[in-house]
Amino acid sequence: MSPDEPDEVSLPVGETPFRLSNDRYAELSRHLETLLTDKHIFTEQHITADVLMRHLGINSNYLTEVIQRSGYTSFYDMMCCEDAESDVLVGRQRRETK
């Protein structure tokens, strides 16, 4: 990069540096959250990125973007975090019922 080139590229108003629009990302993010929190998809024995892509109806590029924009580093990171959070919640519920 030469000294004359800017560090950041400005985008037209309303555009993001992502492939998914903000609206589409929000829709997929809500669907993903439902799969994780309500349906506990992470507990399926053979959960893979392909299975999740089929549930969401998207390709691997979009899945990666949704995962990363949601704050996870990878599919594996997301599944492990959700599983750990679920274990904490189950443990909390067990303690509360005693």
Walk along the chain (98 residues) and give the pLDDT tens digit of each residue.
445 554 444 556 555 678 999 999 999 999 998 998 888 887 888 889 999 999 999 999 999 999 999 888 999 888 888 766 655 444 444 334 44
| Phi-psi domain of 40 (left: phi exceeds 0; alpha: psi -120 through 50; beta: other) | left
Q: How far is CA 46 from CA 33, 39, 71, in A?
A: 19, 15, 23
Prediction pTM value: 0.67
